[in-house]
Amino acid sequence: MSKLVGQSIKRKEDPRFVQGKGSYVANLNIAGMAHLALKRSPHAHAKIVSIDTSKAAALPGVIAVFTGQDLIDGGCGKLPCGWNVPNIKVPTRWAIQPVGDKVRHVGDTIAAVVAESRYIAQDALDLIEVEYEVLPASLGAKATVTSGIVIHDDLPDNTSYPWAIGDLPAAEAGLSAADHVVELKDLINTRLIANAMEPRAAAAQWSEMTEEMTLWTTSQNPHPIRLLLSAFTLGIPEHKLRVISPDVGGGFGSKIFHYPEEIITPWIARKLNRPVKWVATRSEASMTDSQGRDHVSTIKVGVKNDGTITAIHISTHADQGAYLSTFAPLIPTALYLTLMTGLYKVPGVYGEVWGTITNTTPVDAYRGAGRPEACYALERAIDVAARKINMDPIALRRKNFIPANEFPYQTPVALQYDSGDYHKLFDKLEEISDYNGLVAKRDAARAAGKLAGIGVVGAIEASGPAPSKVAGALGGAVGFWESAVMRVHPSGKVSLMTGSHSHGQGHETAFAQVVADELGIGVNDVDIVHGDTAKIPFGMGSYGSRSLNVGGSAIVKAGEKVRNKMLKIAAHQLEASESDLVYDRENGRVYVKGAPSKSKAFGELAFAAYTAHNLPDGLEPGMEEQSFYDPANFTFPNSAHIAYVEVDKDTGEVNLQKYYAVDDVGNVVNPMIVEGQIVGGIVQGIGQALYEHGAYDADGQPQTLTFMDYAMPKAQFFPRFEVARTVTPSPHNPLGVKGAGEMGTIAATPAVANAVMDAIAPLGVEHIELPLTPQRIWKAINKI
Amino acid sequence: MNHTVTITINGVKHTREVEPRTLLASFIRDHVGLTGTNVGCDTSQCGACTVHVDGQAVKSCTVLAVQADGSSVTTIEGMAQGGKLHAVQQAFWDQHGLQCGYCTPGMIMSISYMLKQNPNASEEEIRHGLEGNICRCTGYQNIVKAALQAREALSN
Ligand code: FES
Ligand code: FES
């Protein structure tokens, strides 16, 4: 059997998906199930003076109506923040805001209706009468600090925490030593909505007999959700609470967090002793799913005339929305400023950030999470610098690369990059894009009177969070190891229970490839089990491009243990010493060195472990091994992307004609899946560059609650992407892999932004804020 | 006042008493229990809910069940025949045209209709034909490749 790792094996999960047999939460239909709908605040900021639910409760078909106080009286706790940086102030957040408290963003929850049908529950929402005292909204990541409007009484300046990293004197010295200091003032990183195609949903069933709760939720990490529910918000003990995340229709970060509906739904199911289901509408999702990015930053980069970068100084205000979502403070701190030096050796670096509170939907991780913000600010500034000193943008980047022979490389901002070869990366990019040809094409287009531009980006990611000790030191309330249980059945088939969660990443295939290679069996002899706390060991779930780095490593470790046990049994039965045996991972058998015919097949050893008729003394029967793998470091995938655009002078419209991407994600288990992740990520990144914006008006009213208003990338906007890879294995995990889920998104936004800016630079425009819509471009080039 | 609605879905007749405001998507999912047809938006933009009504691709979240009374509907569950995937389903599998799978039923229903209307659809036409179908995962590239594979398979 040839090695499966490294092959583009078609996905094992796909036959069910292409036939409409995905098991999404919204599909659940349990006998007696009631339907939950939630009354959402229409105001960005208001005091809840009173609520009258009597008319709603009287509507035929309505089973019950609950308000915030009902849940508090019924034992529901505040939603905790899972990442507490030093000196943080965590504002109070309830599942449903009680009367006397306030609503703090449009979509904040104020009442729950349970009815016999979803339609009736929705009707009843309109019958709930709420008296509000409407307050002015405080908005803007930076402006909110001085708005004078207090959102939470204990945060008078709407600031939850400050955070800083680096060496300020060194950064200042570097800026003074520079020939030029490029400054992008109040650079905006847009508010985005993740918009996984499956809206969030939750369903719950209470068993009165056993006092056990089952919660189905659209989560990327069912175990942490169970822990938070048990310890903080719902109070049902962990051993009586089963959380299931079945097939989940995309997450992109937005389904990591602990949401109010995960409290409300099971609380009501127990209260009424009936199964209950809640499914978000798209507009509900758009006002309650934690959103992404939303920074205002001023970045200064010092460069010498020869292109040497001398310093980076950045000050950022990060809008966290109305409350701190579960991991909100992690994103603009340890996942952002630590990546501020990109691929480069920079002597002086300093970054500071303020996490601020506004009357908007909470902000947390969204694909890339902090790293796209760092990459965008840095790579935009470097591009402006290259133009200023009239240097080729690739040449400038190359001038500053961390050399391949300096890894592992300790950056001045805490991280230690594991491995990389950035020149090789860009060599490949220049090759596949025919860079010189592309420059000639642009110049020819310009000579013909067109606005044509090339955008280059070098990007880094810290993927696979994270050594648990480091996470703890940085404010994490949890560890970031991952678990695997490898259950070899007596017949030689394998169930692999993983704490990672797949919501599109293809674990059922890629993980099965890893298991199969560890044991020397077929990919179809392995089933990957995930997403159900009753079936899997405690696991941390999937985000931060961690599944294969961390979860995959746990699989490898469990596989080693299975092989070792099999060697022991084989040694006993073959009457050989263990050191004379070879575990043949090609063919799934154990044989005696030099006498390959003396052997035991994988299936024989599995069966022997369960009959236990003939095991070595002291060896326990059975064949089931587990591993909890704590990573030694992040992994540091990196990429080089290039975009070629032409901008229509008359309309400001961007025509993205070519896009080339080279990514180094270390070793690859399934190239097809990796390419899918890269391309999908690129389109999300371009979405931010050209189309997407979660906009609010001056009163804090969200303007983009549907796909009519929020511009999702569509198929016809894109050319075919050309993607390639270089491979620098990660030295510290057994598979040598790095994260692949977020690189595309991180690199693509600045690549396209740089290309558009290059196209319109001849007209004297240095910078436009995202998204680069035709209107914004047209205004800029016409100086309006 | 409830209405009696009869719709043939994947060859099987289903008669239900429904409120007049019941959407076809809800009829299929909640009343008949065929949950392969997904709902991804409220405004007829995403195409996750696409089915065929009397041979036409229709967004089932935009049609009332009463409007579809007496019609014949094909959903994603009706595409594979005799244990064999439809050419478009097979192409999605072969080309890695899906990740989370949520948009996939609608994509397959749209593309199979598109290729019936235009058996020689070019890559450009396919991309434009997908204007009403949103995928957040794949970046569309492999969906387009799947459509091209299906185009070849169906023309043979
Ligand atoms: S659910 Fe029908 S178009 Fe989105
Ligand atoms: S595969 Fe996830 S939305 Fe298309």
Which residues in B lie closer than 8 A to residue A672 (C-beta atoms)?
96
Residue with tokens 């990183």: A189
Cβ contact, residue pair B128, A283, below 8 Å: no
Residue at A76: amino acid letter? C
Domain boundary among B36, B57, B77: B77
Q: Dihedral angle at the C-alpha atoms of A232, A233, A238, A243, nearest 10 degrees? A: -140
Q: What is the pLDDT of residue A2?
A: 60
Structural domains of chain A, ranges and CATH numbers in brackets: 14-135+198-249+255-288 (3.90.1170.50), 161-193+290-465+633-781 (3.30.365.10), 481-629 (3.30.365.10)
Strands A276-279 and A34-40: parallel
Say yes or no: B7 and B64 in one domain. Answer: yes
Between CA B60 and CA B49 the distance in angstroms is 5
Question: Which CATH number fits the domain that encloses residue B47?
Answer: 3.10.20.30
Which residue out of B49, B99, B142 has the highest number of ligand 2 atoms within 8 Å of its CB and is therefore the one to mutate?
B99
Q: Are residues B69 and B124 in the same domain?
A: no
Q: Taking CA atoms, what residue in B is nearest to A717? A: B127
Residue B141 lies in a domain: yes
Q: Which of B44, B51, B107 to mutate to test the pocket of ligand 1 (most atoms within 8 A of CB)?
A: B44
User: Per the CB < 8 Å rule, is A679 touching B139?
Assistant: yes
Say yes or no: B99 and B144 in one domain: yes
Residues B73, B96, single domain; the answer is: no
The three state secondary structure string of A390-454 is: CCCHHHHHHHHECCHHHCCEECCCCCEECCCCHHHHHHHHHHHHCHHHHHHHHHHHHHCCCEEEE
Query: A290 CB near a chain B CB, below 8 Å?
Result: no
Clarify whether residues B73 and B94 are in a common domain: no
Same domain, B70 and B115: no
**Which residues 220-249 of chain A have a CB within 8 Å of chain B?**
247-249
Q: Which tokens sit at A87?
A: 């000196």
Given a contact cutoff of 8 angstroms between Cβ atoms, the answer to whether A427 and A300 are in contact is: no
Portion 27-86 of A in contact with B at CB < 8 A = 27, 29
Distance A251 CA to ligand 2 centre (A): 10
- For position A477, what pLDDT does the model report? 86
Distance A364 CA to ligand 2 centre (A): 22
Q: Is residue B24 part of a domain?
A: yes
Q: Residue A378 is encoded by which pair of tokens?
A: 């840095």
Nearest CA in chain B to A12: B93
B34 within a domain of the structure (yes/no): yes
Task: Say whether residue B5 is in contact with chain A using an 8 A CB cutoff.
Answer: no
Cβ–Cβ gap B43/A706 under 8 Å: yes
Average pLDDT over residues B81-92: 97
Q: Which residue puts its alpha carbon closest to atom 3 of ligand 2?
A: B135
Residue-level pLDDT at A475: 87
Residue B10 lies inside a defined structural domain of this protein: yes
Q: What is the pLDDT of residue A784?
A: 84
Interface of A with B in 100-129 (CB under 8 A): 118-119
Q: Tens digit of pLDDT for each residue in A152-192?
A: 999 999 999 999 999 999 999 999 999 999 999 999 999 99
A7–B contact, CB cutoff 8 A: no
Chains A and B form CB pairs within 8 A to the count of 182
Residue in A closest to B89 by C-alpha: A18
Within a 13 Å sphere around the CA of A293, how many CA atoms are in the beta-carbon half? Answer: 31
Interface test with A, best of B2, B16, B28, B41 (most A CBs within 10 A): B41
What is the total count of domains within chain B? Answer: 2
pLDDT computed for residue A687 by the predictor: 98
Q: Is residue B107 part of a domain?
A: yes
Based on the domain organization, do B12 and B65 belong to the same domain?
yes
Domain containing B96: what range? 87-155
Confidence category of residue B7, pLDDT binned at 50, 70, 90: very high
* 8 Å CB contact of B96 and A505: no
**Same domain (yes/no): B63, B93:** no
Ligand 2: does its nearest atom lie under 6 Å from the Cβ of B100? yes
Contact A712 B134 (CB under 8 A): yes
| Residues B60 and B93 grouped into a single domain | no
> Distance (Å) from the C-alpha of residue A371 to the closest C-alpha of chain B?
19
Question: What's the whole-number average pLDDT of chain B?
Answer: 97
Calculate how close chain A gets to B50, using CA atoms only, in Å: 12
Are the beta carbons of B43 and A708 separated by less than 8 Å?
yes
Mean pLDDT, range B100-106, rounded to an integer: 98
Closest-CA distance, B154 to chain A, in angstroms, reads: 17
Q: What is the pLDDT of residues A622-651, one digit of tens each?
A: 999 999 999 999 999 999 999 999 999 999
Q: Which of B24, B47, B77 is the last residue of a domain?
A: B77
Hey, are the CB atoms on A15 and B85 less than 8 Å from each other?
A: yes
Q: Which of B37, B105, B137 sits opposite A504 (nearest CB)?
A: B137
Closest CA to A66 of A288, A281, A272, A275: A272
Q: What is the pLDDT of residues B113-142, one digit of tens each?
A: 999 999 999 999 999 999 999 999 999 999
B32 lines ligand 2 (CB under 6 A): no
Element (H, E) at A483: strand A482-488
Among B59, B77, B95, residue at a domain's last position: B77
Residue B47 has pLDDT above 70, yes or no: yes
Cβ proximity of A543 and A742 under 8 Å: no
Spell out which residues of chain B touch residue A283, defining contact as CB-CB under 8 Å.
42
Which chain B residue's Cα is nearest to A503?
B100
C-alpha span between A721 and A23 (Å, rounded)? 31
- CA–centroid distance, B50 to ligand 1, in Å, is 7
Is B82 among the domain residues? no
Q: Do A198 and B35 touch (CB under 8 A)?
A: no
The complex's ipTM? 0.98
pLDDT < 50 regions, chain A: 1
Question: pTM for this one?
Answer: 0.97
Helix (H, G, I), strand (E, B), or coil: what is residue B114?
A: helix
Residues of A with CB below 8 A from B42's CB?
A: 281-283, 706
As given in the structure block, the two tokens for residue A761 are 């630079």
pLDDT of residue A459: 98
Kindly state if the Cβ of B49 falls inside 6 Å of ligand 1: yes
Q: Do B139 and A680 count as a contact with CB atoms less than 8 A apart?
A: yes
A586 CB-contact burial (10 Å; exposed 0-12 / middle 13-18 / buried 19+): exposed
Please give the Cα distance from A136 to A188 (Å, whole number): 23
Nearest chain B CA: its distance from A8 CA (Å): 10
Based on the fold, state whether residues B50 and B7 are members of the same structural domain.
yes
- In three-state secondary structure terms, B52 is strand
Question: Which amino acid belongs to residue A762?
Answer: P
Nearest to A676 by CA among B8, B58, B32, B95: B95
For A720, the enclosing helix (H) or strand (E) is none
Assess whether B70 and B7 both reside in one domain: yes
* Contact between A506 and B94 using a beta-carbon 8 Å cutoff: no
CA B67 to chain centre: 18
Nearest ligand 1 atom to alpha carbon B59? 2
Residue A731: exposed, middle, or buried by beta-carbon count in 10 A (0-12, 13-18, 19+)? Answer: middle
- The whole-angstrom separation of Cα A728 and Cα A731 is 9
Q: Provide φ and ψ at A697, rounded to 5°.
A: -85, -175
> Residue B103: CB within 6 Å of ligand 2?
yes
Residue A338, Cβ neighbours under 10 Å: how many? 22
| Helices H / strands E in chain A, number of each | 19, 28
Q: Is residue B151 part of a domain?
A: yes
- Cβ–Cβ of B45/A283 closer than 8 Å? no
Whether residue B110 lies inside any domain: the answer is yes
User: B40 CB under 6 A from ligand 1?
Assistant: yes
Residues B55 and B107 in one domain: no
What CATH number is associated with residue B129?
1.10.150.120
Per-window interface: A 713-732 vs B, CB < 8 A: 713-716, 718, 720-721
Residue of B49, B108, B137, B149 to mutate, interface with A, max A Cβ within 10 Å: B137
